[in-house]
A and B are shown apart, each in its own frame.
Chain A
C-alpha cells in the first residue's frame, strides 16, 4: 500500500504534463481517422481530377467535361501554376487535364487535337487516364462517321453509358473494419509512448539516489517492491487503454459492439500489458531524465514504423517485416490486420490470433524477468 500511495502522490504531482501528453496522444489518433462512406454495394473508385478548360464550355468540350466529372471527383484549385503544381505533388489531385483552345473546332474538323495532362503516376491517375483515353477513342471513331454535333454527342453518351453488372460477395463491412484496424494500429504508438513516458517519469522519482537507498535497506524484498510498483503503474496503463477504447466507440462506430470489436479490444488489452512491462524495464534501466525523451521516440516510433502502425503492413518491404518479428508490436498489429479480414469469429478462424496473443504475453513475462534481473544488479550502489 505504501508503494501505491507514493505512486499516487508522484502521479498527482506530475499530473499536468501527463494529462497533456495523454490527451495529445489520444486526440492525435482521432485526428488521423479518415472519414469514408460506408456501403456494402459496389462503389467505383473515383480519381481526383482537375480540369483546366481553355476552350469555351460548349458542345463536345462540355460533354467531355461532363463525362469526366461524372466519373471522378472534380477538384477545385485556384488558377495559379504554383498552386496547381503543389496540389499535384501533395496528391490533392491525381490527374490534371488541360483542354486546349479551340478544342471543339479542331475536334469536329477531325484533327484529333492533343490534350496535355499532368499525372502523379499512381493507381488513381492510371484510372483517370483510362477514362480520358476511352472517351477520346469513342469520340474519335464516331466523329469519322457522324457530322452533326448533337447526334455525335448523343451517340457517344449512349455508348459510354453501357455498364457492367457487378455483384459483391462479402457481407463484411470492410470500411468500418479497416477504420477499426487503422485506429487500433495507431494505438501501438499511443499506448507505448504513453506508458514509457509516464512510467519513466514516475520511476525516476523512485530511483532518486536517496529514496532508492532507503528502499533498498528497508525490509521489503526487491521483487515484492517491483511487483507492487508494476501493479500501481498498471493502474495508469489501464486508464490510458480504457480511454482509448472508449474513444474507439465514438470514432469507429457500431462494429465495436460486435465480436470483431471485442477481439480488437482484447487484443489491445494484451498489448497494453506488454507495453507496460516494456515501459517498466526501460524505467528501471534509464535513470537519466534527459534521455527519456529520446528513448520514447526511438522505442515507440521505431516499433510503430517497423511493424506497420503508420504505414500499412502490406506496403512494408519484406526485410523490414522479418526484422519486425522480434518486436511485440508486430504480433499486435498483425492481429489487427487479421481481424480486418475475418468473415466469422470462431475458434478455428481465431487460431492464429490466439497464438499471437500468447506470444505477446510471453514477451511480457520475459520483460518482467529481465526487469527483476536488472533491478537486482542495480541494488549495489557505491
Chain B
C-alpha cells in the first residue's frame, strides 16, 4: 500500500505542470536575474583608476616633487596605480570636468594645490588625500632638514652641505614603510548571500509540493481525499508515502538548482560537498514539514494555503536578506530571536557559515535548529491529523 500510494502521489505531482514549472523554474529564473544584476557589483566597488586632470602651468612643470609623484601614480606599469592623468590647460580642464570625463582637476598655485570637483565623492576624497600627502611630505622634509641645519650650526659647523642634508632626509622619508598586515579571510563575496537565500526559498517553497500531496489525502480537500479517508488503510502509511513523494520531488528541484548555480552561475558554496548536500536535504525537510503544518492545521482552500505558504516563505527570505543583503545582518544584530526561529535564515546562515568560517560550530548549530523546527512542525501536524473527524464536509 505504501509503495502504491507513493507511486501515484509522485505521478500526480509530476503531472501538475504548472506547479512543477513554478517550483522548479522560478528559482532558476530568479537566480539568473541575480547573477545578471550582481555579477559586476563587487568589482565596481573595488578601487578603480581615477580619471583626473592637472593644469600644466609653469609652476607645476617646475615642481619636481609634484610631477614625479603624479607620474608614478599614473604609470600604467605601476601596480599601485591610482590615476589616469591628463595634463591640460585650464580651459580644457574645465571642459573635461563639465563633460564628466574627469572627477576633478588640480591647479598648483603658490606651492599650494587647489582642487576643483563637480561633486563630493570617494574618488574626489582619494584625490584630495594624495595631494595632501604630497604637501605634508614636502613640509616634513623641509622641517627636518631645517632642524638638521640648526643642529649643525649649533655644533659650530658652518660648512654645511645643504644638498646632502636634504637628500638624506628625503631618503629617510622615502624608505619609510608602514607595516600593515591584512588578516581578513578571503571569502568576502557578500553577493553570495543572495544565492543562499535563493536556496532557502527553494527549500521552503518546495513545501508546497508536500502540501499538495497531503491535500489529496484530506477528506475536506477533494473527493479523492474522501475516498482515501474511508479506505481501510492506516493513515500513517498514506501520509508518510505522500510526504515522501513530495520530498523526493522537492529534492529533484533543489538538485537542479544546485547544478545550475554551481556550474552555470559559478556560485561558491565552500568546499565541503557532503555538508552542502546535508544542509540542502535538512533544509528541504524543514520546508516539507512547514508545508505539512500549514496544510493540516489550517482548514482552508488550497489557494489560500498556497498563498500563506508563499507569503511565509517570502517574508522569511526577506528577513534573511533576499531583497537587501544587509537585512539579515540588521535582524541578527537587533532582534536575533526572529532569525533563530526563521527557517529561511537558518538555511542561509548555514551556507554562510560554510562559506565564510573555518569552524563548523555555527553550521551545525543551524542544522540542529532546522531539525528542531522540523520536528516541532511534524509533531503539531501529527496531533492535528490523527483521529480527524468531520461532522459534515
Interface residue from B29, B39, B114, B185 paired with A317 (Cβ < 8 Å):
B39
A164 touches B122 (CB 8 A): no
Does B59 lie at the interface of the complex (its beta carbon under 8 Å from any beta carbon of A)?
no
Please indicate the chain A residues that have their CB under 8 angstroms from the CB of B147 in the complex.
Answer: 145
A145 touches B144 (CB 8 A): yes
Among A3-11, A136-144, A264-272, A274-282, which stretch is in contact with chain B? A136-144
Interface residue from B30, B173, B184, B303 paired with A297 (Cβ < 8 Å):
B30
Q: Which single residue of chain A is at the shortest CB-CB distance from B131? A: A164
Please indicate the chain A residues that have their CB under 8 angstroms from the CB of B118 in the complex.
Answer: 168-170
B37 touches A167 (CB 8 A): no
B122 touches A127 (CB 8 A): yes
A89 touches B120 (CB 8 A): no
Among A55-63, A283-291, A362-370, which stretch is in contact with chain B? A283-291
Does A120 lie at the interface of the complex (its beta carbon under 8 Å from any beta carbon of B)?
yes
Most B Cβ at <10 Å: residue of A113, A142, A166, A169: A166
Among A155-163, A190-198, A214-222, which stretch is in contact with chain B? A155-163
CB distance from A348 to the nearest CB of B (A): 15
- From 164 to 222 in chain B, residues with beta carbon under 8 angstroms from any chain A beta carbon are 172-173, 176-185, 188, 190
Please indicate the chain B residues that have their CB under 8 angstroms from the CB of A298 in the complex.
Answer: 26, 29
B181 touches A117 (CB 8 A): yes
Does A302 lie at the interface of the complex (its beta carbon under 8 Å from any beta carbon of B)?
yes
Does B256 lie at the interface of the complex (its beta carbon under 8 Å from any beta carbon of A)?
no
A-side interface mostly:
helix
Please indicate the chain B residues that have their CB under 8 angstroms from the CB of A134 in the complex.
Answer: 129, 133, 136
Most A Cβ at <10 Å: residue of B115, B126, B178, B324: B178
CB distance from B237 to the nearest CB of A (A): 29
B33 touches A117 (CB 8 A): no
Pairs across A and B, CB under 8 Å, 15 listed: A118-B183, A120-B188, A122-B42, A127-B122, A130-B129, A140-B178, A159-B140, A162-B132, A162-B136, A293-B22, A294-B21, A305-B33, A311-B38, A316-B40, A317-B40
Does A126 lie at the interface of the complex (its beta carbon under 8 Å from any beta carbon of B)?
yes
The complex places the Cα of A79 from the Cα of B152 at a distance, in Å, of 51
- From 113 to 145 in chain B, residues with beta carbon under 8 angstroms from any chain A beta carbon are 113-122, 124-126, 128-129, 131-133, 135-136, 139-140, 143-144
Interface residue from A28, A163, A167, A288 paired with B132 (Cβ < 8 Å):
A163
15 extra interchain contacts, Cβ-Cβ under 8 A, other than A90-B326, A166-B128, A302-B29? A42-B117, A42-B128, A89-B190, A117-B184, A119-B182, A121-B184, A126-B47, A136-B180, A145-B147, A162-B132, A164-B112, A164-B131, A165-B114, A169-B118, A297-B30
- Tally of chain B residues near chain A (CB < 8 A): 78
A166 touches B178 (CB 8 A): no
Given A118-B183, A132-B180, are A294 and B22 neighbors across the interface (CB < 8 Å)?
yes
Interface residue from B33, B180, B323, B352 paired with A302 (Cβ < 8 Å):
B33
The complex places the Cα of A150 from the Cα of B30 at a distance, in Å, of 60
CB distance from B360 to the nearest CB of A (A): 13
B46 touches A141 (CB 8 A): no
Does A333 lie at the interface of the complex (its beta carbon under 8 Å from any beta carbon of B)?
no
A122 touches B119 (CB 8 A): no
B176 touches A140 (CB 8 A): yes
B40 touches A44 (CB 8 A): no
A314 touches B44 (CB 8 A): yes
